[in-house]
A and B are shown apart, each in its own frame.
Chain A
Amino acid sequence: MPRLDKKPRVMLDEFRVKNAPDDYGMADEKWSFKKFAKSFKIHIVRLDNTEMEFDLIGIQPAFANAFRRLMLSEVPSMAIEKVMIRNNTSIIQDEVLAHRLGLIPLKADPRLFEYKPEDAAEATEFDTLEFSLKVKCTNNKSQPKDSYRPEDLFENNCVYSSQMKWHPIGNQASVHKEADVGPVHGDILISKMRPGHELDLQLIAVKGIGKDHAKFSPVATASYRLLPDIRLTREVNGGEATLLQSCFSPGVIAIDEDGCARVAEPRYDTCSRNVYRYDEIKDAVELSRIRDHFIFNVESVGAMAPNIIFVEAVKILRDKCKSLLDELNTL
Chain B
Amino acid sequence: MGEINKHSDWDNNKGLREPVKTLEEKWKLVPSFLQVKGLVKQHIDSFNYFINVEIKKIVQANEKVFCEADPLFYIKYLNAYVGTPDLEEGYNVTKPTTPHECRLRDMTYSAPITVDIEYIRGNQRVIKNKQLIGRMPLMLRSSNCVLTNKSDFELAQLNECPHDPGGYFIIRGQEKVILIQEQQSRNRMIVDEFKGAIQCQVTSSTHEKKTRTNVIVKNGKYVLRHNALSDDIPIAVAFKAMGICSDQEIMQLIGTDDTTMKKMGPCIMDCHNMKIFTQNQALTYIGSKLKAKRYQTGNSRTPVDEARDLLATTILAHVAVENFNFYVKAIYLAIMVKRVIDAESNKAAIDDPDYYGNKRLELAGSLLALMFEDLFKRFNWELKTTADKIIPKVKAAPFDVVKHMRPDLISNGLFAAISTGNWTIKRFKMERHGVTQVLSRLSYISALGMMTRVNSQFEKTRKVSGPRSLQPSQWGMLCPSDTPEGESCGLVKNLALMTHITTECSEEPISKLACNAGVEDVRLLGGEEINHPAVYMVFLNGNILGVSRQYKRLIRVFRMFRRRGLISAFVSIYPNHNQRTVYICSDGGRLCRPYIIVENGRPLVQQLHINELNRGIRKFQDFLNDGLIEYLDVNEENDSHIATVEADIDPYVTTHLEIEPFTILGVCAGLVPYPHHNQSPRNTYQCAMGKQAMGTIGYNQKNRIDTLMYNLVYPQCPMVKTRTIELTNFDKLPAGQNATVAVMSYSGYDIEDALILNRASIDRGYGRCLVYKSSKTTMKRYSNQTSDRILGPSRDANTGKVIRAHEILDTDGIAAPGEMVENRQVLINKQMPPATLNPVVQGQPQQVDYKDVPVTYKGPVESYIEKVMVSSNSEDAFLIKILLRQTRVPEIGDKFSSRHGQKGVTGLIVQQEDMPFNDRGICPDMIMNPHGFPSRMTVGKTIELLAGKAGLMEGKFHYGTAFGGSKVRDVCNELEKHGYNYHGKDIFYSGITGEPLEAYIYSGPVYYQKLKHMVQDKMHARARGPRAVLTRQPTEGRSRDGGLRLGEMERDCLIGYGASMLLMERLMLASDAFSAHICGACGRLASRAWCHACRSSAAVSAVEMPYACKLLFQELASMNIVPKLTLKKYC
Contact = CB atoms under 8 A, between A and B. Distances in A.
B976 A274 contact: yes
A93 B981 contact: no
B762 to A, nearest CB: 8
Interface string A83-99: 00100100101111001
Given A16-B999, A65-B993, A72 B913 contact: yes
A61 B982 contact: no
A72 B979 contact: no
A62 B994 contact: yes
Most chain A CB neighbours (cut-off 10 Å) among B765, B911, B913, B979: B913
A85 B818 CA distance: 9
Given A272-B980, A272-B982, A99 B765 contact: yes
A88 B867 CA distance: 12
A96 B981 contact: no
Interface stretch (A122-130, A157-165, A171-179, A219-227): A219-227
A297 B921 contact: yes
Interface string B366-409: 00000000000000000000000000000000000000000000
Given A16-B999, A72-B913, A277 B887 contact: no
A106 B998 CA distance: 39
Nearest to A249: B979
Nearest to B763: A214
B868 interface: no
A99 B992 CA distance: 29
A223 B989 CA distance: 10
Contacts of A273: 981, 1000
Contacts of A91: 702
B702 A214 contact: no
Nearest to A25: B995
Most chain A CB neighbours (cut-off 10 Å) among B864, B885, B980, B995: B995
B912 A72 contact: yes
B760 interface: yes
Contacts of B818: 85, 88, 94
Interface in B1045-1077: none
B159 to A, nearest CB: 14
Contacts of A223: 917, 920-921, 989
Contact of A211 (B911, B991, B998): B911
B1000 A15 contact: yes
Contacts of B981: 272-274
Interface in A193-251: 210-211, 213-215, 217, 221-226, 249
A7 interface: no
B322 interface: no
B321 interface: no
B979 to A, nearest CB: 4
Given A93-B770, A96-B713, A270-B919, A68 B980 contact: no
B482 interface: no
Given A94-B818, A96-B887, A99-B765, A61 B913 contact: no
Contacts of B1108: none
Nearest to B919: A225
B997 interface: yes
Given A69-B991, A91-B702, A17 B999 contact: yes
B750 interface: no
Interface in B959-1011: 976, 979-982, 987, 989, 991-1000
A293 interface: no
A10 interface: yes
A213 B912 CA distance: 10
Contacts of B987: 12, 17, 225, 271, 289
A58 to B, nearest CB: 15
B764 interface: yes
B866 interface: yes
B759 interface: yes
Contacts of A213: 763
B999 A69 contact: no
Given A62-B993, A96-B887, A213-B763, A271 B919 contact: yes
Interface residues of A, number: 47
Contacts of A249: 979
A97 to B, nearest CB: 11
Contacts, number: 106
Nearest to A102: B763
A172 B764 CA distance: 30
A1 B1061 CA distance: 77
Interface in B255-309: none
A299 B1000 CA distance: 25
A270 B980 CA distance: 7
Contact of B913 (A68, A88, A95, A215): A68
A178 to B, nearest CB: 29
B759 A214 contact: yes
Contacts of A69: 913, 991
A256 to B, nearest CB: 24
Nearest to B820: A94
A217 B760 contact: yes
A103 interface: yes
Interface in B1024-1049: none
A73 B996 contact: no
Interface string A47-70: 000000000000001101110110
A111 interface: no
Contact of B993 (A61, A85, A226, A297): A61
A109 B911 CA distance: 25
Given A88-B818, A225-B919, A274-B976, A95 B864 contact: yes
B760 A214 contact: yes
A73 B913 contact: yes
Contact of B996 (A66, A72, A214, A226): A226
Contacts of A224: 989
A95 B913 CA distance: 26
Given A16-B1000, A93-B885, A96-B713, A61 B866 contact: no
B507 to A, nearest CB: 52
A103 B714 CA distance: 14
B696 to A, nearest CB: 13
Contacts of A99: 713, 765, 768, 887
Given A61-B993, A73-B913, A272-B980, A215 B1000 contact: no
Nearest to B987: A271
A93 B994 contact: no
A215 B912 contact: no
A318 interface: no
A222 B768 CA distance: 25
Contacts of B887: 93, 95-96, 99
A90 to B, nearest CB: 11
Interface in B890-949: 911-913, 917, 919-923
B822 to A, nearest CB: 16
A18 interface: yes
Contacts of A271: 919, 987
A208 to B, nearest CB: 11
B912 A73 contact: yes
Contacts of B996: 10, 17, 226, 289
Nearest to A14: B1000
B954 to A, nearest CB: 16
12 contacts: A16-B1000, A17-B998, A17-B999, A61-B993, A96-B770, A103-B764, A217-B760, A223-B920, A270-B979, A272-B980, A273-B981, A297-B921
Given A65-B991, A223-B921, 19 more contacts: A16-B999, A18-B998, A61-B993, A62-B993, A64-B994, A65-B994, A68-B913, A72-B913, A85-B818, A95-B864, A213-B763, A214-B763, A214-B764, A214-B912, A217-B760, A224-B989, A272-B976, A274-B976, A297-B921
State the 7 A-B residue pairs at the shortest beta-carbon distance, nearest first: A65-B994, A223-B921, A214-B763, A214-B760, A270-B979, A61-B994, A69-B913
Interface of A: 10, 12, 15-18, 61-62, 64-66, 68-69, 72-73, 85, 88, 91, 93-96, 99, 103, 210-211, 213-215, 217, 221-226, 249, 270-274, 277, 289, 291, 297, 299
